[in-house]
Every structure is written in C-alpha cells, then in structure tokens.
Structure 1
Amino acid sequence: MGHITKSSWVPSVPLRVNAEGVEPAALLLGADGRVRGDADMVFEGQPVHPSGAVRHEQASLVLALHEVEADVERIVIAGVADGGALTALAPDGATVASYAVPGSPDATAVVFAEFFRESGGWKFGGIGKGYGSGLAGLVTEFGVEVAEAEESSEPAAAGPVPLAGVVKMPGQAPPADGAVVPSGPFPPADGAVVASGPFPPAEGAVAPGGPFPPLDRPYELVEGWEFGPVFEPFTILGDDDQVVTVDGRVPPGPVLVEAAHEDRGYFGVFPLDRRNKDGDYLFNTTLPDFTGSSVVPAPTGRALRLRVRADRRWVMRVKPVAAARRLQGTLRGYGPEALLYTGGVADLQVNFEGNEDGGGYVGLWCHEVAGRTGLTDRPTLLLNRTHPLRRTVPLPAGPLLLLFKAEGPWTLTVKELD
C-alpha cells in the first residue's frame, strides 16, 4: 500500500487521492477551519470546485495544489465509512502519501486526512477521526449547510459507498475575500503593441478564432442594459508572461474582458491583490486557439494589477459589460464567455461537446443585476460538471449576467416560457 505516514511534505502538483471502497469528499477550509460556503465541498454530487482546483473523478479526488486559492489553508478528505486506507498519487503514479484509519463500529463517516499549507508549500497529515452522526454531522462541523435526506427502503448497493445522507442546499459559489479581477484600459507593457484588432498570426500559426466573436467585432451596446460603466474599449497585445498595471481611465465597477491566446499552450490571467499576490483567476486554460470573456469589477481607490502567464502571444480587450453578447435564440461558443439575458422566465438548453480528450469542465453562474452596481456576492450556480452533456437549466427573468465556463465547444438555446 505504499508508505504510511502521519505528516509529510507533498509536491504542489495535481494529486489523485483514493480511499479504497469509499467515495471521497474534499472540504476546502479557510484560516478559521470552516468552508467559505457550500461550494467549498467537493464530492460525487458536486464534482468540481468553482476554482477548478479540486475535482471528483471516478471515485477519487484530483487536487491541483498549485491552483488552490490563497484563502484556502487546508483541504480535508472525508468519506462515508468506518475506516479505510487513503492514498495520494503523483501524476506519474508514484505514492507520495498514505494513511490507514482502523475501522470503528461506532463510526459511519470518517475524516481520513488533510493537506495543509506550511512555509510556502503543502504537507499531508493523517487525522483518522470518526463520526457516529454520519457525513452530514461531519461536514456540519466544518460549516457546510445540509438538508435532511429522504429515507429509502432500497437496499444498499454493492461497491463504493455513495455520499448518502448529505443533500446539498442550492449550490452557490462565493468569491474569495478581497479578490479583484481585471478592468480598465491597460497602458502597454514594455515592448507591447496596442492595436485596434486581434494580433496577426505568426508564420505558420493559426490565429485565435473559432465560434467566439473575434475581438475586433463592432463595438455595440445591448439596448437598455444599465449594469456597469460605459467607456471606450481598448486592446493590449503581449507575448509570454507579463505584469500589467491598469490606470484610472475606466470608472470603478463591472467591466467585460475579452481575451485570445495564439496556438497551443497555457494561458492564465490572475489579478494581484493589495499584497501583490494572486487572486482568483480570470482565465486559466490550455485550450488551443483560446478565446474567451468574463466580467469582473474595476476596483476603487487603487490601480489594478494583472499577472499574465502565457506560452504564446495573446491579446486582451476591455469593454463595457453592455458590449457582451446577448443570449437569445441559439448561440455557439468555445471556451468561457459572459452573456447578457434580458428576456423573461426561460429554460436554457446546454450542449457541451467536451475537450479533445472527451472530458472537460462546464459551469454556469447567474448574477441577477437589476438595480445593482456590482457583481452579486453569491451568484446562483446553475451548472457544475466535468464531462460532455446535454442539459436544461431554468433561468429567472432578466436582466441577468451569465458567466459560462467551458473547456471546449458549446451551444446554448434559450426558450422563454409563456
């Protein structure tokens, strides 16, 4: 079973965590030892954390420790069991940590172990604490809100024990405290060229494109949309990693950021907080010929700084939120996109095709923006999955700002209800 350890350093790489015969769950905890919201619990019924750093896949957990938000101090691993053996594997299959918990007749759920920050890295520590109140009682201790589970007369199925006994309240994804994301026109970084359209392709390279509208599409505002400041758009080009400082030409408030990354490779955009540390990512992808958009707040009282990580050339354009695409009829896209909905109560059909490997993440957050000047603190989480799908989700009446995240091509069709 590999080595058994009470506490040890682990590499900050994606780790696959298995608990033999158990469907594991992860709880992402802040400095106070509690989750920030129900979205900080990842398990079979809620398989992806909004940050994308923790996922439930095939009866195991994948922890991308290098992508975990700065506000998360500990990741606790639990499951419905009276004991068992937990193992953490590196990408090459090597065991980096493991811990065995003896079975207890009084326990119906157990905290196996935890991953915690120390001296700029991550350590693994065994815990082995059982709970007679089941998983619902266990997660409540860490601040997760649960609803009563309905009793079933069906016999328990053989195989891995599901996370029965925990019925999630409506999923909502809180933002990280103090996280600020891009806004405002960037002055060009040294050597960067500001242009009115997307960059020309390098010799032999394919320029960013696909079904997402190009960054030089006409400047248009959705009629009647009142959320976010209005200003002239701008474009900045870059190559490889850069830190960009935003000036004050854009008023504080939500703005639209469109981006494209040339060819293949990694592309990420991270706002820097007051301490010059990364906040929640704006873009974090390896999609080829990436294009995407999102909506984020321009801060008040200080310049916004963005850290861009890129393997190839990239372009970003900042516009008013009212310049985002409007969701009506059928739309097709590729990658994350911010969409505006101004219709009535409707059903939204989502067709996500997945990535090149047949998987990929898809998520949808809904901000009800009527009468608001900033993003909703706790947007409604409508979709959160890690595989291709066809699904219908309900939409309330607009005006809505929909933040759609997808690692591949997608089609959205909205059908208003009578």
Structure 2
Amino acid sequence: MTYMIKGANAPVPAVPLRVAVGRQSVPGAPTVSAAALLLDAAGAVRGDADIVFHHRPVHPSGAVRHVGTGQGAGQLAEWLEVDLLRVEPDVQRVLIVGSCADGTFGQVPGLYAQVSTFDAAVVAQYAVTDATAETAFVLGELYRRDGAWRFRAVGQGYEDGLAGLTRDVGGSGAVTAVAAPAPVTPSPAPVTLVSAPAGFVPAYAAGAPAVGASVEPPSWAAGFFMFEPRVYRGKGAKTVTVDLPFPPNGEPVILEARTEEYNFLSVKIPGREDDVFLSDLPDHYGRQLMVPHRKGGPLTLKVRNSGAWQLTVLPLSAALPLDFGTVTGSGHEVFLRTGPAAELKVRAEDRHKGWFQMHYHWGDTPGDLRRPAKRIVYEWNGRRVREKVALPSGPLLVTIDKSRHQWELTLDAAAPDEPARGARKGWLR
C-alpha cells in the first residue's frame, strides 16, 4: 500500500478499483458527498453524463459507479467503483471529488481517499491535512500516462464550492447537484478495513468490518444472511465451490460476473434446470440473483467462458439503490427500492433483438424471496423496449434478469389516484 502526500503519484493496476471518500464519524460534522468526474484530453467533462454521483450512480459506459455509503468502526465513507478496463479512450482523467453542503472541509475530521482492488488490496491512500474554508475538494485523480494508469493525490479545494470546480471542468447544473447530501444506503463495496500508520485515519470497509467493530446490517436487511464477499477467478471452463455456510431455506444472494475478452458466460448450479447466467454480458459485467440449496451449506458452480472471468458472491445488502431519477446500464442488474409506490419508465435497445425481462421480489421473511417473483416487463425479440410499469411501495428487490440490452430506467412518483398496491410488511421493514 502507498500512503501519499499532496502532489504525489503512484501506479495503480488497470483493473476494477474501489475508491472511498471518507472521514471520521463525528456527530455534527458536515456531510461529505462524493462524485467522480470523467475528463477528456482538454480537462473538461463532455456532458452531464460524465458526472457520477448518488443521484446519477452509473456512467453510460458502465465504467464508473457510485455504490453507496457505509458507516462503522468510527468511520463514514462514500464508495465509487472505477473499472479502468472499461473507461472510454476519450477519457484521460477521472477526478475523485468531495463536496460539503452544510459546512467547510476544515470542519471535516480525518478526510481521506483510499483506492483498493476488488480483492481488498489497498493500492493508494491519501489523508487531507490542510483543508480550511473549502466547500468543494478534488481529493485525487486516476489518469493515463504512457499506456498505464496512475493515481495522484491532488488536494485542491474551492472556497467558492462547486461553482469553482464547474468553472475549471465545464458541465452544468449536474455539478451543482452533487452537493445535495446522499441518502445513507448500504454499500456493496466489499473492501477490507486496513491497518494504517500511527495517526492516520483508517478507511471503513462496508462488507468486512474490522475485528472488534460492531456494525449492524442496514434496517431493511434485518434477518439477511450477512457475510464477507467471496471472489473467484478462472479462465475457460472451471468448477468452483462457494464455501459459505448458507442457512437452510435462505434468501438468494447476488452473483456479480466480470469477463475480459468474451461476453458470453455460463454459470450453472449442478442438478438445476435453470442457469444462473447463460447470456452475453454486453459490457463484460452483470449481476444476477442466485438461490442457494434449500438444505443450506456450500454451493458448487460450473463456469464456462472462452477467456478470463471473475465471479463475486455478495449478500443482498449489495443491491443498488433504485431512487427517483434516471439510471443507465446494460445487461443483468439487481436493485433495491425502499420508497413509496412509483412509476418506472423502461427504455432499452439491443440490435440483436434479444429477450428483456424484469421482475420484482418481496416477502414476509428472507426465505420468501426464493419464491417466483412478479414479472413486470417481458419482451421477446425486443430490439426496442418501451414500457411504463407501476411499482408498489417498497421495499422491493427489482431485477433485470434477461438482457443483452443497453437500458435506461427512470423512476417517477406515482400519480395521486394510483393505488399504492401491495404495501409490504415484515423482514424488509
């Protein structure tokens, strides 16, 4: 691991990375919102879509995501994911930005940025020690140099806030919107809390709290099977064993898949007719629900792909939040919706005219999620999908479980006369 001073830079591996923007969890301290800004060779965003934050959590390329907020072990952090292999060639730098809506960064205790790989290896960490009256702050940047990627500890603040940052990088109202406090949602980032030199503020790991730390699962996930994520890698055909003590009749978990050269992936549980994955991953990435055995215990997976692949098994608390506004992406995905009844507008494109299918899941107990879900969108030969569907009040798990499409989901408030069908009670409350 590299502990950095302001202005220093260090190489980072060209792999998917997780970036934490964190601080000490102190009552009354200002709220810090995190964002990533994708800049071209001129040092400017190409449009509002190049600004990724809690209200626009996924970049259209799928390369950058805002994945939530975690708290524990005396720390509070917002997490970003940056898949360097998928960053578009026109993008030369990815800025890691923080903003304060209710104070200045001089009032933020222990501000830091941490960069780590998906298997919890921390590759760079930078503690900000000289913040004063700034209300926007560029903590660091990932940038290209001679065909490789590096991280620089920038430490540049703006006393005039995001207006000053906007002046430097362009963009419009979307930059200003970053300052709105993010909702505190469970983070899917399974990054390990690491040791640090004396006096340095350690970072919080959403999926794996430090030894001795007492971190409660989020309230909507009471009763879930919580575990530290498991990562498996291979090439071609391989059988792997997910060695977790799954409880009998337990709820599904999330299987996240990444491929390198070839999109098509098959993941099958022996003895079952349906595959977990049997499809293209349009951007070499997808997430799907996976149901363990009723008897519980370890789970065997048979994996086939013509190249290198990576599978990550995550608890349901890793579902991405589905909030009002628009989110874009591709392929399979798993969302959590906790708000009131709403209208979901679905737009999707696939030149191959493939299936597109969405469900929502709910239940009174975690085990109820094993039951067949309610199908809300189904398109066979669906080159263009244009649907509006009503979602009942949450919490719900919403899945895109058949798709080679590039999709856009827009959630709007339900009409006043629309019944809030199926208000749910029980384990998700």
Normalised by the length of structure 1, the TM-score is 0.45
Normalised by the length of structure 2, the TM-score is 0.44
